């Protein structure tokens, strides 16, 4: 049975035109409330998780049976990376057979795909088993409050998937890098750069030295990349800067590398080159690597067979980006990611969702959910 793509399009337009950047709390709440209402109409149970209204938007958990013994856990996220008023500046549009707009692919379409798939299976009485869905409201912030809940529910599930968008070439994701994030602050002593520079201790120089030491840890062949993505320091060109800050992003393939690098970065913070400069290191491992499993490969074969029914030859890839699927994978739960519709340009003003194959991708996902629920895989 085909999906009502006209209804899907109207609902996608409605959701994309709601600003729901992670820090736009009212917008995140509006989207989460909308999904809660739709699942309540299906008779599903719902609750909001670890809700801190002054800090983060709502994360919705909805389920149809035993929430502590899930045959399948679906993870989606309702927040985006875009600031308030973005949707007003460039609202939902259609161009060259693509849907455009902030969060259209990453991942409001994926959230809708999960909803429409469940609705269709419920209306046709084809859904069995215990299914749970998390609509994460703080995904783009690396889950500061709900990570324990994601891990708890993952451990209670036999299979975990995400509706993150498929890659631009149509590939789904079977493996991802892990992520470490750090804020490193350097505290020196200010002085006039012309009158008495010898009385100063330069925080920026110490930061530069540490960045060079950090870059020596790069190992592309092993999948290790360190990026000092944001640096700042100093207030005047003629003053020795007494403060500097570096925000560091680290990507790894292997969990043992994440643990080793975390220890190394902490040790660097305790041993500045200039003993008169102090270093404060905060952060750690925010997402473990998502690793393939034998059971996961069996699920991939099942999805591939479903894809053939709809004339789609599914492809699978390795991605350096982060995903909530990593939390499940850390416990050796069979996990697949990027099962949503095909899109690209994520986190930019060029973000798009392909209209081609939309019905087929949604049908593949729906049939996969049905198979898991009926224990047919």
pLDDT above 70 (res 99):
yes
pLDDT above 70 (res 377):
no
Non-local CB neighbours of 190 within 8 Å, separated by 6+ positions = 200, 239, 240, 241, 242
Q: Give the DSSP per-residue string, 45-89.
A: EEEE-S--TTTS---EEEESS-TTSBSEEEEEE--BSPPTTHHHH
Residue 376: per-residue pLDDT = 56
pLDDT above 70 (res 214):
yes
pLDDT above 60 (res 107):
yes
Q: Where exactly are the structural domains of the chain?
A: 5-176+290-373, 178-287
Residue 375: per-residue pLDDT = 73
pLDDT in tens, 355-373: 999 999 999 999 999 999 8
CATH architecture under which domain 178-287 falls: 2-Layer Sandwich (3.30)
Give the whole-number percent of the chain exceeding pLDDT 70. 99
pLDDT in tens, 48-81: 997 788 889 999 999 999 999 999 999 999 999 9
Non-local CB neighbours of 6 within 8 Å, separated by 6+ positions = none
Closest C-alpha to 158, from 90, 225, 73: 73
Q: How far apart are CA 276 and CA 102, in angstroms?
A: 46
pLDDT in tens, 130-155: 999 999 999 999 999 999 999 999 99
- Neighbouring CB atoms inside 10 A of 360's CB total 17
Region 272-277 average pLDDT: 96
Instruction: Tell me what the pLDDT averaged over the chain comes to.
Output: 96
CATH architecture under which domain 5-176+290-373 falls: 3-Layer(aba) Sandwich (3.40)
Q: Are 100 and 93 in contact (CB under 8 A)?
A: yes
pTM for the model stands at 0.91
Q: How far apart are CA 217 and CA 224, in angstroms?
A: 8
Residue 321: per-residue pLDDT = 85
Give the containing element (helix H, strand E) for 13: helix 5-16
């Amino acid at each position: 049975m085909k999906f009502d793509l006209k209804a899907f399009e109207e609902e996608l337009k409605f959701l994309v035109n709601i600003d729901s950047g992670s820090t736009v709390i009212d917008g995140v709440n509006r989207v989460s409330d909308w999904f809660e209402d739709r699942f309540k109409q299906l008779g599903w149970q719902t609750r909001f998780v670890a809700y801190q209204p002054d800090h983060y938007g709502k994360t919705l958990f909805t389920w149809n049976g035993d929430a502590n013994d899930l045959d399948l856990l679906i993870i989606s996220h309702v927040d985006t990376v875009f600031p308030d008023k973005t949707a007003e500046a460039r609202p939902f549009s259609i161009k060259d057979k693509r849907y455009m707009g902030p969060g259209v692919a990453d991942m409001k379409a994926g959230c809708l795909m999960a909803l429409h798939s469940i609705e269709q299976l419920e209306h046709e009485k084809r859904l069995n088993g215990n299914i749970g869905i998390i609509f994460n409201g703080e995904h783009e912030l690396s889950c500061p409050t709900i990570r324990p809940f994601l891990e708890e529910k993952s451990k209670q599930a036999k299979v975990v998937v995400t509706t993150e968008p498929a890659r631009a070439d149509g590939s789904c994701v079977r493996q991802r890098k892990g992520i470490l994030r750090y804020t490193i602050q350097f505290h020196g002593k200010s002085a006039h750069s012309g009158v008495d520079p010898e009385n100063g201790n330069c925080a920026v120089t110490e930061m530069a030295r540490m960045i060079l030491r950090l870059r020596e840890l790069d190992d592309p062949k092993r999948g290790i990349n360190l990026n000092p993505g944001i640096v700042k320091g100093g207030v005047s060109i003629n003053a020795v800067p007494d403060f500097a800050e570096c925000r560091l992003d680290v990507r790894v393939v292997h969990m043992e590398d994440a643990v080793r690098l975390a220890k190394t970065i902490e040790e660097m913070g305790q041993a500045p080159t200039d003993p008169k400069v102090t270093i404060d290191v905060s952060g750690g491992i925010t997402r473990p690597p998502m690793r393939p499993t034998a059971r996961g490969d069996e699920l991939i074969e099942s999805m591939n067979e479903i894809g053939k029914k709809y004339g789609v030859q599914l492809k699978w890839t390795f991605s350096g980006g982060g995903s909530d699927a990593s939390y499940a994978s850390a416990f050796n739960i069979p996990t697949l990611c990027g099962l949503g519709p095909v899109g690209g340009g994520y986190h930019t003003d060029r973000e798009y969702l392909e209209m081609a194959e939309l019905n087929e991708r949604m049908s593949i996902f729906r049939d996969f959910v049905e198979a898991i629920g009926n224990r047919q895989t």
